[in-house]
Amino acid sequence: MSTPTHVPPAQGYRRIATEEAFAPGFVIDAFIDMIRNKKVDDPAFESLHGFYLLSQAPRAVEIRERLKDVGEMRIAHMDAAGIDLQILAITAPGPQIFDAVTGPAIARDANDWLAAAIAKHPRRFVGLTAIAPQAPQLAVQEIERGARKLGLKGVIINSHTHDEYLDEAKFWPIFEAAEALDTPIYLHPTGPSRRMAAPLIEAGLDGAIYGFGVDTGMHALRIITSGVFDRFPKLKLVLGHCGEALPFWLFRLDFMHAATVRAGRYPRIKPLQRSISEYMRENVYVTTSGMAWEPAIMFCHKVLGADRVLYAMDYPYQYVLDEVRDSDALPMTDAERKAFFQGNAERVFGLQPVL
Amino acid sequence: MSTPTHVPPAQGYRRIATEEAFAPGFVIDAFIDMIRNKKVDDPAFESLHGFYLLSQAPRAVEIRERLKDVGEMRIAHMDAAGIDLQILAITAPGPQIFDAVTGPAIARDANDWLAAAIAKHPRRFVGLTAIAPQAPQLAVQEIERGARKLGLKGVIINSHTHDEYLDEAKFWPIFEAAEALDTPIYLHPTGPSRRMAAPLIEAGLDGAIYGFGVDTGMHALRIITSGVFDRFPKLKLVLGHCGEALPFWLFRLDFMHAATVRAGRYPRIKPLQRSISEYMRENVYVTTSGMAWEPAIMFCHKVLGADRVLYAMDYPYQYVLDEVRDSDALPMTDAERKAFFQGNAERVFGLQPVL
């Protein structure tokens, strides 16, 4: 264990950014093919990547250049921001947008590509395993291959897969594999599923501004309320964007879940071993991607605990140097700050500690 | 101005509960008729009132008894909880579920019924004007009648009206009338609209546990992003449930709105005179209905300001005496606490100050 040389860690902790997006060129091309040739009926996907992958707007052009690079340009940006290590995840929707044959192949190729890119800069990058839940058994195999053969440190799932959520029993082998390998699942947003996207898209609210959080927050709640953590009590779930606002709702979630269980209003809302807030504090971790704002971060810190909140930048979508400085200045103790930037990520993702 | 005699205001402030639901028996009967005779295609409405109005579960039986009473039973409950004044609003979806002929008639009848109930206990109740936005000009007339003739203190709108949101231009006369009369609009949840309800209903998450906040939060964002407050800068909008989590999202809303405007990604997301967080701090008020939880309340207090957060109980849906004590114990100064329970409500709703 030696200190990195690229930036003096004068601050006393490594800055690990835990939700950083990339996409190999062949994945971007495959997304574009899906849109141009109308191979999928997913309006929020078309809204998202009709912009980021096809628009000539400066923001879109910049984002796609940066998504493709897991090398020198990205490292220069990390150095400028003081980011020591990125945890890389394939950008939404990843392999999940393809069919059950193409998706697993894209996942394997993307994971091989990622592992090769990481191998060139092992001090600066680690990565998460992309999977295609639409082929659950192949997804399980890929989780195992990612963890055991490729050295990847978790699993990235970009919310729904063709409008289906992971609370459906057919997906539970994915949770079983992740728990068995002690590898976290990062549940990242994608455009809202077809059956909820329309009123968001028509108002321009389907993306990161609001719709991402709606879909992913609901998805996490579906996982919790379906009893996934009772069945897989050691499973670790990571949510970005300060937990997609679920921490803010904790009291109401507990109150209304208990009232709904007592009333027997829905077959799907059944007694659980713990309260929703307990699962949020014991199985869920949240990162600060896109939420570099002291009030929301410290709120999560307070209601979930100092060991549950991890730094993230959301590169390249939110590459803002001042936000790193703001995060350095969060009103935490030195030990809490080190946990926030470094220790929690090392523990959750099973990284080799440095420093 | 004399002090009320029913409860000694030893705490130094009146407790005004600002989001308290009622429904006359004829409205409940009309809701039941809509469900039983399948007069509307609104799955979230059927989910909501298929339970509250038709179930024999103890919670449902209790709720509908309490909704119908704006008299002795309710006052006894208020006394037991230490609530001095309720601001009454017709329970969701109110007149909005009916057609454009029936809805306005239900609104008028409900407002007359409410005004008569208030007249019997004018120290304990004030009310909001129910309207049927599906008939915008009649809604405008009813807002004027409610404010000028019935003495009602604001307007209640239970989110979408047959899947349409108030950012549509045809509804803007409603905003114009409310601004002209300086009467606030309380945007209260209802079941999510048809085009977003399905994945929530199938998981049992369409109601107060999550779906209400999704629909109403989106609705408020649509109002803000469409420029309503640029056109009607003095309009006051009240949101329950600690602002439907929008305060938690403020930083991301501002960041992504600005990025989206710059990118020109959507025609509907256009430059505004102020940032979303500025509208939230200058045109919007939030109440604590269903969120009697110090972290969320104090978060709103901090990021919106002490003059923007109002106490609410959400009777009868959340009649919990301990929650009043918890609210009394919030870590505010005495002046802030008085504003929270009393002063802000008096100012926003134009109530006669007492004490």
Q: Is B302 on the interface with A (CB under 8 A)?
A: yes
Q: Which residues contact B51 (CB under 8 A, 6 or more apart)?
A: A263, A265, B57, B60
Which of A57, A264, A299 is facing B264, going by the closest CB pair?
A57
**Size of the A and B interface in Cβ pairs below 8 Å:** 176
User: What pLDDT is stored for residue B355 in this prediction?
Assistant: 52
Residue A304 lies in a domain: yes
Which of B55, B199, B293 is facing A196, going by the closest CB pair?
B199
Q: Is B262 on the interface with A (CB under 8 A)?
A: yes
Summary count for chain B: helices (H), strands (E): 17, 9
Is there a contact between A130 and A139 (Cβ–Cβ < 8 Å)? Answer: no
Would you say residue A320 has pLDDT above 60? yes
Q: What is the pLDDT of residues A221-251, one digit of tens each?
A: 999 999 999 999 999 999 999 999 999 999 9
State the Cα–Cα distance between residues A72 and A75, nearest whole angstrom: 5
Is there a contact between A15 and A311 (Cβ–Cβ < 8 Å)? Answer: yes
Interface test with B, best of A159, A166, A209, A262 (most B CBs within 10 A): A209
Q: Is B296 on the interface with A (CB under 8 A)?
A: yes
Q: Which residues in chain A are contacts of B293 at CB distance < 8 A?
A: 250-252
Residue A187 lies in a domain: yes
Cβ distance of A268 and B202 shorter than 8 Å = yes
Q: Which residues in chain B are contacts of A167 at CB distance < 8 A?
A: 203
Q: What is the pLDDT of residues B63-81, one digit of tens each?
A: 999 999 999 999 999 999 9
Geometric angle at alpha carbon B341, from B340 and B346, rounded to 5°: 90
Residue A59 lies in a domain: yes
Is there a contact between B327 and B292 (Cβ–Cβ < 8 Å)? Answer: yes
**Percent with pLDDT over 70 in chain A:** 97
- Determine which one of B42, B314, B326, B334 is catalytic: B314
3-state secondary structure of B65: helix
Residue A4 lies in a domain: no
Which of B205, B265, B292 is facing A218, going by the closest CB pair?
B205
User: What pLDDT is stored for residue A333 in this prediction?
Assistant: 97
State the Cα–Cα distance between residues A131 and A146, nearest whole angstrom: 9
Q: Which helix (H) or strand (E) holds B257?
A: helix B250-263
Handedness of CA B241, B245, B248, B253 (dihedral sign): negative
**Could you give the strand order of the β-sheet that contains B16-22, starting from the edge strand earlier in sequence?**
B16-22, B85-90, B125-127
Q: Which residues in chain A are contacts of B248 at CB distance < 8 A?
A: 242, 245, 247-248, 296, 299
Q: Which amino acid is at B280?
A: M
Q: What is the pLDDT of residues B231-277, one digit of tens each?
A: 999 999 999 999 999 999 999 999 999 999 999 999 999 999 999 99
**Percent with pLDDT over 70 in chain B:** 97
- Give yes or no: B79 in active site: no
Chain B, residues 162-191, CB within 8 A of chain A, namely 163, 165, 167
Q: What is the pLDDT of residues A115-133, one digit of tens each?
A: 999 999 999 999 999 999 9
Determine the distance in angstroms separating the CA of A58 from the nearest CA of chain B, rounded to an integer.
7
CATH code of the domain containing A244: 3.20.20.140
User: What ipTM was predicted for this assembly?
Assistant: 0.96
3-state secondary structure of B306: coil
Cβ distance of A205 and B222 shorter than 8 Å = yes
The confidence band for A112, taking pLDDT boundaries of 50, 70 and 90, is very high
How does DSSP classify residue B128? Answer: -
Q: How many domains does chain B have?
A: 1
Nearest to B120 by CA among B160, B180, B74: B74
Copy the structure tokens of residue B302.
Answer: 């901090």
* Domain hosting residue B127, numbered range: 16-348
The confidence band for A11, taking pLDDT boundaries of 50, 70 and 90, is confident
Is there a contact between A13 and A355 (Cβ–Cβ < 8 Å)? Answer: yes
Residue B3 lies in a domain: no
User: What pLDDT is stored for residue A5 in this prediction?
Assistant: 44
Q: Which residues in chain A are contacts of B252 at CB distance < 8 A?
A: 208-209, 241, 290-291, 293
State the Cα–Cα distance between residues A83 and B254, nearest whole angstrom: 24
- Cis bond leading into A316, ω under 30°? yes
Determine the distance in angstroms separating the CA of A183 from the nearest CA of chain B, rounded to an integer.
26
Copy the structure tokens of residue B303.
Answer: 């990021």
DSSP letters for B158-221:
ES-BTTB-TTSGGGHHHHHHHHHTT--EEEE--SPPHHHHHHHHHTT-SSTTTHHHHHHHHHHH
Is there a contact between B113 and B127 (Cβ–Cβ < 8 Å)? Answer: no
Q: Which residues in chain A are contacts of B197 at CB distance < 8 A?
A: 196
Q: Which residues in chain A are contacts of B254 at CB distance < 8 A?
A: none
Cβ distance of B290 and A167 shorter than 8 Å = no
Chain B, residues 92-151, CB within 8 A of chain A, namely none
Residue B212 lies in a domain: yes
Which of B198, B226, B291 is facing A251, going by the closest CB pair?
B291
Per-residue pLDDT, averaged over A97-122, amounts to 98
Angstrom distances, CA of residue A324 to CA of A78, A131, A301, A339: 11, 30, 17, 15
Q: What is the pLDDT of residues B102-157, one digit of tens each?
A: 999 999 999 999 999 999 999 999 999 999 999 999 999 999 999 999 999 999 99
Is there a contact between B243 and B280 (Cβ–Cβ < 8 Å)? Answer: yes
Nearest to A226 by CA among A166, A170, A284: A166
Q: Strand A309-310 and strand A185-188: pairing?
A: unpaired
Q: Is B303 on the interface with A (CB under 8 A)?
A: yes
Residue B355 lies in a domain: no
Would you say residue A313 has pLDDT above 70? yes
Q: Which residues of A are catalytic?
A: 314
Chain A, residues 232-261, CB within 8 A of chain B, namely 241-242, 245, 247-253, 255-257, 259-260
Residue A11 lies in a domain: no
Q: Is B214 on the interface with A (CB under 8 A)?
A: yes
Q: Which residues in chain A are contacts of B318 at CB distance < 8 A?
A: 255
Cβ distance of B200 and A214 shorter than 8 Å = no
